[in-house]
Structure 1
Amino acid sequence: MAREQFGICAEPSLHGYYLLFNVLDDKNAHIKQALSRLPALFDKYADRFSEANLTGVVAIGANYWDEIWPQARPQMLRSFEEIKCDDRIAPSVNYDLYVEVRSDRADVNHIVAEKVCSLLSDGVELAEQVRSFRFLDGRDLTGFVDGTENPQGRHRREVALISNEQDADFAAGSYLHIQRYKHNLNLWNTLKVKEQEDVFARTKIDNEEYTSENKLPTSHIKRTNLKDADGNSLEILRQSMPYGDMKLQGLMFVSYCHTPEHYELMLRSMIESDENGHFDHMLKYTQAETGAAFFAPSLNFLALLAE
């Protein structure tokens, strides 16, 4: 039975380190060997710093997959499609590899990220790195709790992981989408608290969701809480974390799911205007600067890369 990468469904951490790589020409053999060794590297440092609750995730870019594993492809793996509507855009940026390191210690994340870069160094260029952190009680830098609708308990695995029935060859894997958002907090903070709450359709301090009749059609919750034809909620598992300093602030958005469709529908609902011209007004105060699609395979698959 395939085993998932434990970082996919792990509980929230205090610190994160996201590494995005592009593979150099003719380095696929080296990369396959290196990727197969990353789970053991994570285990080593998780044991060494047991109090840090270290977890890691390795994912392969949709555009790179066929180069590293031409034998087969996850059934629904596809490239991140750029979306534009008026002045709103979800850009697509190509990355070949994604490595997520999370723990309750920033120094441990730094050590592990350094080891990851050393292991991959002869075959990649580091295209982007983002250090993130937990803010207060799991809030975004806008001051609102992030990921309130996340699945809990065993349901996290049902939402995030592919089952044998869905795609037996890639069971226990997950479709991953990332976007790095840059917030305009100066503009956001010109709003009164009630105006901010209306943008989200949720109270700021108590984190209570508005009743249906009080949700504006442009609110973030209204645009992202979607249902299928049978009335079932389209869920994703968010592992997002804030990042930033005194000059730059934002959110590293990370979504895991057993299908890419849920995320894609949510993103289109946010950006594209409906028949009444409604879109997610949160996009007035934040802008995605990156966007990419990956597949996070099972531990069993990563082990196969060494053969």
Structure 2
Amino acid sequence: MTGNSWERVPIDPQSVDAPLSQSAIFLVLRVADGPDALATVCSVLGGLDDLVKTVGFRDLSARLSCIAGIGSDLWDRLHPGGKPRELKPFAPIKGTAHDAPSTPGDLLFHIRAERADLCFEFERLLLAALDTAVEMIDEVTGFRYFDARDLLGFVDGTANPAGPDLSASALVGDEDGDFAGGSYIVVQKYLHDMAAWGRVPTPLQEEIIGRTKIDNVEIDDDAAPRKSHKSLATIVDEQGVEHDILRDNMPFGRAGHGEFGTYFIGYSRYLWVIEKMLERMYVGDPAGAYDRLLDFSTPRTGTTFFAPPRPMLEAIAQGTAGAPAAG
């Protein structure tokens, strides 16, 4: 097997590579017990593309898209015959100073568009179709903040892969050929202590993040006694190969309620890459030297999903996933 043999696998992924948008809605749902709920979910999953067309035709330039992710437990209910190699529930992390919780979730819908009203309309119709088959676990409406900054004031997502590197980083290849074109997804909802962060001098903020605040220039902290968020989130394997993930984080908030946050969503070819990134952030490298950003940003959720490629999503929707091919 060659290093780039994944490229020869015919795949039709969901819209993981959709451009970063101005608006987004993140829905995490639990699927009710019983066959009727499963049948409803399958029907909705099978009609997602049609629903995107129904809503999106109003303004094609708004680039409405939706990615469906399936959690480990629901995957077993929908498709008992096989499972992506690394798919499992989010593993909670006990850090040296901060913890990352694991929270429930069977379905993730990541809705994106350049217009908030299209995201809203899609969500409205989607939830109406799902009806009592699901229970809302979490609902977050995100927005693009100035020049792709988070509410802490720093540009977010600078290190995202682009071009051919995007697919190589975000989509499963022939290392798990039955699920090639799919993507592992990890979501975490972080709430920021803006008052505490505002008391930190800008030079120290930059040291914590690993980039300058105004012009977003990367800071070399290889020789520093304490690694930055940027360095701790950089994953290099034993062969010296750096592994990227695709982030589509979005700020969210309700100023009147004192709620300010970042919704982290990472797409990855390998789940272990995100797991290793989070381990380095919470445990530290070396152990104890955790990501100081966690002193100001607290995770409230943590859930793992798998976004199957379109043909597999359609097969799951039709109840034929895992069936032998005709002919």
TM-score band, normalised by the shorter chain? over 0.9
| Number of the residue aligned with 1:108 | 118
Query: Are the equivalent residues in 1 in contact too, given 2:93–2:282 (CA < 8 A)?
Result: yes
Partner of 1:206: 215
The corresponding residue for 1:280 is: 291
Q: How many residues align?
A: 305
Maintained 8 Å contact 1:223/1:266:
yes
Match of 1:306 in 2: 318
* 1:223-244 deviation line (CA, Å, top 9, x unaligned): 1112111211121100111100
SS in 1 for 2:275: helix
Q: How does 1:64-213 map to 2 (within 5 A)?
A: 64-163=74-173, 165-213=174-222
Q: Quick one: distance in 2 between partners of 1:34 and 1:255?
A: 24
Paired residue for 2:32, among 21, 24, 27? 24
Q: Can you give the 5+ residue segments of structure 1 that lack an aligned partner in the other structure?
A: none
User: 1:233 is matched with which residue?
Assistant: 242
Give the secondary-structure state (helix, strand or coil) at the position aligned to 2:318: coil
TM-score, normalization by structure 2: 0.90
What's the CA shift for 1:131? 0.2
Aligned equivalents of 2:299, 2:318: Cα separation in 1: 36
**Runs of at least 5 residues in structure 2 that lack an aligned partner in the other structure:** 1-9, 320-327
2:142 partner SS: strand
After TM superposition, the structure 1 stretch with the greater mean CA deviation from structure 2, 128-137 or 271-280, is 271-280
- Mapped partners of 1:101, 1:51: distance in 2: 15
Match of 2:229 in 1: 220
Return structure 1 stretches of 4+ with deviation > 3 angstroms: 212-216, 273-276
Q: Secondary structure at the match of 2:69?
A: strand
Q: How far apart, in 1, do the equivalents of 2:218 and 2:121 lie?
A: 40
Structure 1 residues 110 and 276: alpha-carbon distance in aligned structure 2, compared to 1, 3 A threshold: closer
Deviation at 1:78, TM superposition (A): 1.3
What SS does the corresponding residue of 1:74 show, helix, strand or coil? coil
Partners of 2:52 and 2:313 in 1: CA distance: 13
Distance 1:190 1:154, change over 3 A: same
CA distance in 1, matches of 2:261, 2:67: 21
Aligned partner of 2:275 among 260, 264, 267: 264
Residue 301 of structure 1 and its aligned partner are, at CA, apart by: 1.1
What's the C-alpha RMSD, in Å, of the aligned pairs? Answer: 1.4
